Chains A and B, each alone.
Chain A
Amino acid sequence: MNPSSSLRGLLIAQIPNLRAFAYSLCGNGDEADDLVQETLMRSWANIGSFQEGTNLRAWLFTILRNAFYSERRRRRNEVDNGDGEAELRLIDVPRQDSHMDFQDFREALADLPEEQREALILVGASGFSYEEAAEICGCRVGTVKSRVSRARKRLIELLALENAADLGADATSEAVLSMAGSVSSQFERR
C-alpha cells in the first residue's frame, strides 16, 4: 500500500471533526475552512514529527489550535497599525435559520470566556479526555477541569436553566426567552 495514500485517507477522515472544532473557534464558516486547510498543509509537511501509536486526532487539533492563535496574533498586530475590524469577527455568531432554543444556546456559548468554551468543546463535544484536552491546550489537567466546570456553571446561569429544569417545556422556553434579551445585550457589549 502506498503510505501517502493511507496518510491522505487518515487525514481526510479527521476533516469533519477538525471543521467542527474550527467552527467553534472562529464562529465563521469560511474562516473555519481556511483554518482546516492550513492545518492539513502543516500536518502534511510535519507528519515526520507525529509519533505513531499516539492520538492522530489530538495531534491535528493541537496544530489547528496553534494555527488559530498565531493567525489571530498576526491579525491583532495588523489591527494595531490599521483598521479595527478583526476583533469583531472573532465573536461573530452565525444567526441564520436556527431553532430558537438552539440559537440561545449558541449565543450563551459565544458569551463564555474563550478558554472555557474551548475546554468545554474539547471534552464535551470532541470527546477528548481531560488529559488529552490539557495536552492540546498546553495546560494542566486541573486547569481544564476547572475551565469546564466554570463554563458549565456560566451556561446554566446564562440560559436560566436552574429554575427551568423542573418546569414543563413551555415554561422552559419562556424562561429561556426572557433571558434572550439580556444575553444578546451582553453579547453586543463585548
Chain B
Amino acid sequence: MKRTTDVKITSRDDMESESAEQTAALVDVGESPGEATAIDGKVQERLGRQLKALYDDVVRQPIPDRLLSLMAQLEEKKGPGSV
C-alpha cells in the first residue's frame, strides 16, 4: 500500500474547512451535555482531524485499474440488474 509520510501535515490545513462538520459531529455527542469543556473540544477537534486525515489518505488514492476494468466488464457483459 502506498502512503505518504507528510499526510498529516498537508491535510491539517485543507481539513479545517472540509471536515468542520464531521468534527462538530464528534464533539457534540457528550453523554451529559454540560460535561464538555474547552479542552475537551480542542482534543476532540484534533481527534476528528486525525481520523479524517487517515480516511482521506485512502480517498485521495487513484482508483485501482482492476476496479475500473471490472466496471467496464460489468457494463459490457451484462446490463445492470442482471445476475
For residue A3, CB closer than 8 A to chain B, the reply is yes
**Chain B 17-33 per-residue mask, 1 if CB under 8 angstroms from chain A, else 0:** 00001110110011100
Asked if A161 and B43 sit within 8 Å, CB to CB, the answer is yes
A98-B74 contact in complex given A37-B67, A120-B51, A162-B43, C-beta closer than 8 Å: no
Asked if A29 and B22 sit within 8 Å, CB to CB, the answer is no
Asked if A40 and B58 sit within 8 Å, CB to CB, the answer is no
For residue A5, CB closer than 8 A to chain B, the reply is yes
For residue A24, CB closer than 8 A to chain B, the reply is yes
Asked if A23 and B71 sit within 8 Å, CB to CB, the answer is no
Asked if B47 and A5 sit within 8 Å, CB to CB, the answer is no
Asked if B8 and A99 sit within 8 Å, CB to CB, the answer is yes
For residue A149, CB closer than 8 A to chain B, the reply is yes
A125-B54 contact in complex given A44-B80, A152-B26, C-beta closer than 8 Å: yes
Asked if B61 and A16 sit within 8 Å, CB to CB, the answer is yes
Asked if B79 and A4 sit within 8 Å, CB to CB, the answer is yes
Query: Which are the 4 A-B pairs with shortest beta-carbon distances?
Result: A125-B55, A29-B1, A20-B58, A47-B80
A interface residues, Cβ below 8 angstroms from B: 3-5, 7-8, 11-12, 15-17, 19-20, 23-24, 29, 33, 36-37, 40-41, 44-48, 94, 96-99, 101-102, 105-106, 109, 120-121, 123-127, 130, 145-146, 148-149, 152, 155-156, 159, 161-162, 165-166
